Amino acid sequence: MKVIAAIDQGTTSTRCIFVDRKGEIISVGQKEHKQIFPKPGWVEHDPIEIAQNTLEVIARARIQKQIQLNQIVACGITNQRETTVIWNKKTGKPYYNAIVWQDTRVAERADALEKEIGSEYFRKKTGLPITTYFSSLKIQWLLENVPGLRQDAEEGLALFGNMDTFTVWHLTGGKLHITDVTNASRTQLMNLETLDWDEEILQKLNIPKSILPEIRSSSEVYGDISAEPLAGVPLAGILGDQQAALVGQTCFEAGEAKNTYGTGCFMLLNTGTKIVHSKHGLLTTVAYKLGESEVQYALEGSVAVTGSLVQWVRDNLGIIKESRDIEALAASVEDNGGAYFVPAFSGLYAPYWESSARGIIAGLTRFVSKGHIARAVLEATAYQTLDVLQAMEKDAGLPLSTLKVDGGMVVNELLMQFQADMLEVPVIRPKMIETTALGAAYAAGLATGYWATLEDLKANWGEDKRWNPQMDAQKRLEHQKGWKKAIERARNWMD
């Protein structure tokens, strides 16, 4: 049996899956990596740990089902986007830890830059606002704060990449320094129209072009992997994680949308070959470019903290032992008891884009129990998704008829029902919820002829469960009003 490998380098763990022609998982290996918090608002990963974990999970997945090298047709990669690392091209060693997408150390720089050049300068070219989220200001911080790095960058010794680029470089023994259009579109350095690095922005931020990877399509044969667990296997697909989920959900038509519930929450709406500039706090981004076909664009709403809020309740408060326990605890009460949890740990993302916001629990009374807190934690994800959807409908001019969902949190049925109630549309979970890794596999399989057409991929998609709205209108409005009040109290917290 011939299979496709997909490496999913995520925010909390790295996985390797093998899938068959039906898009079903044959085998999986997974390993978490450390989350490093040197200061409040700083979030880092050890890139070398991740590189080692990547090799380990590939080996685990192969051993699990005794998959031979000659069975593996190709490999695709998907990754946490925006997370920024710069390494030495001779030694392969990073100059500093990877700065994670959630990190807010450049908040003051972002504010100063917005005052200096205005909020639309980057948005017009890249589709992205000035904020701590993207790679650009992280690169600038590294160049200005790591001793010797600026000089090495100017001399051509330093290489930048998000985690896709770093992973590819290590898997190919340093032969390929590349990224794809989806990941490049999240650096805030790529022009959406030309699909190339923007010279004016690089000059403005004083970032040498020599450190940047070559931009390629999301689905093509880039070269062969040399690392032992996949030695000789063609590397043939690269997609940022949320774009990979869009492909995995087979949202290939303009107007189709998906929402991924992971560490954060990310809703993408395919806008086809048209660049739609948001007027309501969303991001304009590249959806994918499959080989020589035209590039497809998307509107995206990014929420920083959803699944990671459950982890925070588990690890910092200790009111649950395992993440999955949150559903039973939340179901022990009828509603949130009037409590609302705004998880703005690193500010608010879409549609607010406010780095001065901070997390709060509002509406507390003596009546509120840990069950109500658990419920407020889950409901926060649904409310944040509602905020994004309302902005998306205004920008696209289209009401959403259904929402395809994926990611780890969609096994939580209480959350999915509440989500349908808040959105007033059916929420649909596919049979295959690991759509991020699946999208990377699809990209690699299309490039190598394992799947012939997009229709082959659509035929693999199947519905597992559907949640229809049940809540009456008055109760829904009361919930939404409470959330809006809580959001207002979380805003402008930091001076």
Q: pLDDT digits over 212-225, tens only?
A: 999 999 999 999 99
Rg (alpha carbons) of the chain, rounded to whole number: 22
241 is in an annotated binding site: yes
Chain centroid to Cα 129, Å, comes to 17
pLDDT at 402: 81
State CA 365 to chain mean position distance: 36
Q: Is 270 annotated as a binding residue?
A: no
**pLDDT at site 253:** 86
The arithmetic mean of pLDDT across residues 217-246, rounded, is 95
Residue 407 — φ and ψ, nearest 5°? Answer: 100, 170
Residue 169: per-residue pLDDT: 97
Query: 406 in helix, strand or coil?
Result: strand
Cβ-contact 207, 189 below 8 angstroms:
yes
Residue 81 among known ligand-binding residues: yes
Q: Annotated binding residue at 412?
A: yes
Distance CA 390, CA 394 (A): 6
Tokens 């200001």, located at residue: 137
Across the chain, mean pLDDT equals 93
Read off the pLDDT of residues 266-284 as tens digits, 9 standing for 90 and up. Answer: 899 888 998 988 888 899 9
**CA atoms of 410 and 408, how far apart (whole Å):** 6
**The pair of three-digit structure tokens given for residue 149, joined into one six-digit string:** 């790095």
According to the annotation, is 272 in a ligand binding site? no
Ranking 119-128, 371-380, 471-480 by mean pLDDT, the lowest is: 119-128
116 is in an annotated binding site: no
| Residue-wise pLDDT tens digits, 8-22 | 999 989 999 999 999
421 is in an annotated binding site: no
263 annotated as a binding-site residue? yes
Q: Sketch out the chain's domains with CATH numbers.
A: 3-242 (3.30.420.40)
Model pTM?
Answer: 0.86
Nearest C-alpha neighbor of 264 from the set 126, 404, 136, 133: 133
Predicted confidence (pLDDT) per residue in 324-341, tens digit: 899 999 999 999 999 999
| CB proximity list for 63: less than 8 A, separation 6 or greater | none
pLDDT greater than 80 at residue 400? no
**88 marked ligand binding residue:** no
Say whether 109 counts as a known binding-site residue.
no
Tokens representing 89 are: 């091209």
Query: How much is the pLDDT for 429?
Result: 92
Check whether 436 is labelled as a binding-site residue.
no
**Is 476 part of any known ligand binding site?**
no
- With cut-offs at 50, 70 and 90, classify the pLDDT of residue 163: very high
Between the ranges 109-123, 362-376, 398-412, where is the mean pLDDT highest? 362-376
Q: Specify the pLDDT at position 294.
A: 93
- Phi and psi torsions of 27, nearest 5°: -155, 155
Q: Does 71 appear as a known binding residue?
A: no
- Residues 6 or more apart whose Cβ sits within 8 Å of residue 347: 104, 107, 132, 304, 354, 355, 356, 357, 358
pLDDT in tens, 174-194: 999 999 999 999 999 999 999
Distance CA 113, CA 376 (A): 36
Does residue 408 have a known ligand-binding role?
Answer: yes
DSSP codes joined into one string, 249-264: TT--STT-EEEEESSS
Cα gap 203→225, rounded to integer Å: 34
